[in-house]
Chains A and B, each alone.
Chain A
């Protein structure tokens, strides 16, 4: 039954509460009732005996008037209207446990902390001596702090201190930090807890032995963290952007920063294990004369093609640290292994392992961050309501500029008005059929344009290769080198123009919600990128790598590496916003161009500063609402992960099926690239018997498909268990909600009973003029 609750409670309540404070008789009765017996009915009976009548007279007249007007059914409704609640009801209500937080009752918070610390203790130590009630009792929840309250607080505090002392140090710190008490209170608690352990800081361990080692490790760890946090890249710039444009825009720049740090890390790995050894002991090459024009930086040809940048430079043999470059003969390793003090560094193996480890770490980091952000945004119980969330959670506290605050207010107002009109207007039955037709048309346009773009790029690539062959026969000139940039240019143009077409198309469509529109547009863009990349990969790996002689190439890997390098640069120049392409390119390029992370680092640095300055100069915050956390989930899961998967597939295909070129690179003269691993395993078996088990492990795990099947099976089982748990949690949540509703009904019933009893008490002589409900 719907009831209208009047919310103008405050002035009346304040008045009543103030008058109550001076009422000693009422307090005495509160103490005297023996509050251990928690029955609410006895409580209210005792309290009612001390009511002063004159204070209530005005209220009673109101109630009398209005009660006469209503029917019996609405008596309960009547009694629930707050204006006419008696003072006792109000007092009981205001001291309800669920409301005591507003009066900053430290007791309540300390009790909660108590409960949590006891739970933690039970979880860790399995002790059962302390039995705290699961709900804090009503005892002592007065409005003012009288002596009994203070005693109560002291006991509770002492209990809390005892509980805290029995927890481990880490738990204690975490519990204290997460308690919403003021810092002064927490300091007091902490002093009490540590009063018997004078002068010990938390860094000292509980165990007497190896305490020095632990302390040293802790110091080192905190020192590292401090250095990392002080290297807060772009902190000031990010704060300016966040203050002006809000969290949504900020998430894009945070994404760029994450990518940059990741690239730095990969560059370090690659550099230390691959580039540095080869740089220190360069292989012999026949020096070829190249004219140095500035174009080499963009095309990657010329003197760059025989440099550390590309695959072809790396030798296929073991470097021995004692040899010197002038002693080496072309094509073979330098020196012999006769000197026992030398360290042998197998370059092909290093190449394989470094690239493999790089991909592995990338995969792990991506999966971890995806699962974390997905977990944050996925909710077990999704209900329809949006307005409460919008009102409570949409204010961005980071925004500090006045203009931006005003813009944010306007945004929120617009959104609220839209939501309200949606609810009011209901669902309009727009012509369903015409909607379907428009959608079909839009999808056919986008898919068709994607197909034709891919086809066009395929034909253009073929044409460019033919031209290149012709050029190669002639003299090398600047124009010929510049033509190498044509394909990347065309691809980037396609990348830029087609999404514009998609935007136009989606503008004419009618979507249910803006988020659906966003997902559809992202999907179309992704499809476009995937098809273009598919065509290019087919070209590089399927055509060029398979028949390198037909394309006049001695070292196809270097050529592919150079193509990727060109694509990266041109993509940066053309499109600074869509990094999907760039992501795929650099991941694929890792195999053929070990120094690509360095280029990507430079590109990301420039991108950040370009975007930042353009935003700040433009000085217009976006009018469209951004949902910040979903954006970061989107970035990682929809953009990074497919490009990573695509790159993994391409690299695996390359390693397993394509024959490496015989003239260059660390894998020359091998039938397939992964044979280097096999070779090494066999070498290991013959030279070092202790490590032969590695070979066995490799044979069992990598070459045996059964292991992968088992792994996949275990994975599926874990997923199934999690979905069942989720299902169960959903059911639990709906049951609990029903239970809370029932409790609410109980509360209403009790309030009305209280009020009814009170009224009956006050006016026992006039039962006829007041039809009472039968709640008593």
Chain B
């Protein structure tokens, strides 16, 4: 369970170091920032509600922020709230030393807007809309969107079932050397 004490125990710290890709300093910094998020609330809470997490400057303007919270949240109520360990999971997946496999796994889950295990046309459309922004002049026309989605499926759907599953996604990702460096969030 997450800890809200002002100090992290040494055992916990070394355990987190072993199980995540974060260094000791990064874990301590994460603990400090997490405690700041909790400071105005009741100290007995073990998880921070999604709105507070979204107020972090690193996530505030990210179009995928809500999906990120939902993917890393282990709460039963599926409300996107994060315990400290969820927060560490988030930072570990987005850290410098995380492997390509972990990053692509979580990227897949973030892009899977309807949580059905594959990226179908609806997911792809929502993804492109997130990328292109909210303003009207940057959005693609419906015609362009259709063309884009069919092109994407043509390129990445190897078994031709109309969706992109995890392996196909990882195959596309492995062709891009930029992914590892752009899928990073640093506190």
- A residues engaging B (CB < 8 A)? 5, 7-10, 13, 94, 98-103, 173, 176-178, 180, 182-184, 186-187, 190, 201-202, 226, 229-230, 239, 242-243, 247, 251, 376-377, 379, 381-389, 391-402, 405-406, 409-410, 412-413, 416-417, 420, 423-424, 627-630, 737, 740-741, 743-745, 747-748
Contacts and interface: CB of A to CB of B under 8 A. Distances in A.
Interface in B33-68: 57-64
Contact of B14 (A184, A201, A397): A201
Contact of A409 (B131, B177, B186): B131
26 contacts: A9-B120, A9-B122, A10-B122, A94-B117, A99-B118, A99-B165, A102-B117, A103-B115, A176-B19, A180-B93, A183-B19, A384-B155, A386-B155, A388-B155, A397-B64, A397-B183, A409-B131, A412-B131, A413-B140, A416-B132, A417-B144, A420-B147, A740-B158, A745-B160, A747-B161, A748-B161
A387 B157 CA distance: 13
B128 A397 contact: no
A405 B176 contact: no
B86 A182 contact: yes
A409 B139 CA distance: 10
Nearest to A226: B24
A397 B185 contact: yes
Nearest to B97: A177
B122 A7 contact: yes
A413 B175 CA distance: 21
Contact of B184 (A384, A398, A401): A398
Given A13-B116, A177-B18, A177-B21, 14 more contacts: A7-B120, A247-B178, A379-B177, A386-B155, A387-B151, A388-B151, A392-B169, A395-B64, A402-B61, A406-B133, A409-B131, A416-B132, A420-B148, A628-B182
B110 to A, nearest CB: 10
Given A180-B105, A397-B184, A98 B85 contact: no
Interface of B: 1, 14-16, 18-21, 23-25, 57-64, 72, 74, 83, 85-86, 88-89, 92-94, 99, 101-102, 105-109, 111-112, 114-118, 120-122, 124, 127-128, 131-133, 138-140, 144, 147-148, 151-152, 154-156, 158-162, 165-167, 169, 172-186
A642 to B, nearest CB: 22
A103 B61 contact: no
B161 A247 contact: no
A-B pairs, top 3 by smallest CB distance, nearest first, are A102-B117, A744-B159, A385-B155
Contact of B177 (A182, A412, A629): A629
Nearest to B114: A10
A180 B160 contact: no
Q: In this complex, which of B63, B102, B106, B186 has the most chain A Cβ atoms within 10 angstroms of its Cβ?
A: B186
A403 B116 CA distance: 33
A101 B117 contact: yes
B77 to A, nearest CB: 14
Contact of B20 (A183, A242, A391, A740): A183
B55 to A, nearest CB: 13
B126 to A, nearest CB: 11
Nearest to A740: B158
B133 A410 contact: yes
B117 A98 contact: yes
Main secondary structure of the interface of B (DSSP, over half): helix
A239 B186 contact: yes
B167 A629 contact: no
A389 B166 contact: no
A106 to B, nearest CB: 11
Contacts of A394: 131, 178, 182
A755 to B, nearest CB: 14
A410 B131 CA distance: 9
Contacts of A741: 158-160
Given A405-B61, A629-B178, A98 B165 contact: yes
Contacts of A5: 121, 162
Contact of B132 (A186, A382, A412): A412
Nearest to B68: A397
A393 B122 CA distance: 18
A392 B107 contact: yes
Q: In this complex, which of B106, B112, B165 has the most chain A Cβ atoms within 10 angstroms of its Cβ?
A: B165
A388 B21 CA distance: 28
A229 B60 CA distance: 28
A747 B18 contact: no
B20 to A, nearest CB: 7
A391 B127 contact: yes
Contacts of B18: 173, 176-177, 190, 202
B186 A190 contact: no
A386 to B, nearest CB: 8
Contacts of A230: 25
B104 to A, nearest CB: 9
Contacts of A173: 18
Contacts of A402: 60-61
Q: In this complex, which of B1, B63, B176 has the most chain A Cβ atoms within 10 angstroms of its Cβ?
A: B176
A370 to B, nearest CB: 14
Given A180-B106, A398-B186, A412-B131, A229 B116 contact: no
Contacts of A8: 122
B167 A393 contact: no
A5 B159 CA distance: 14
Q: In this complex, which of B15, B115, B124, B177 has the most chain A Cβ atoms within 10 angstroms of its Cβ?
A: B177
A186 B15 CA distance: 10
A400 B58 contact: yes
Contacts of A99: 116-118, 165
B112 to A, nearest CB: 6
Given A98-B167, A178-B102, A744 B160 contact: yes
A229 B117 contact: no
A423 B150 CA distance: 12
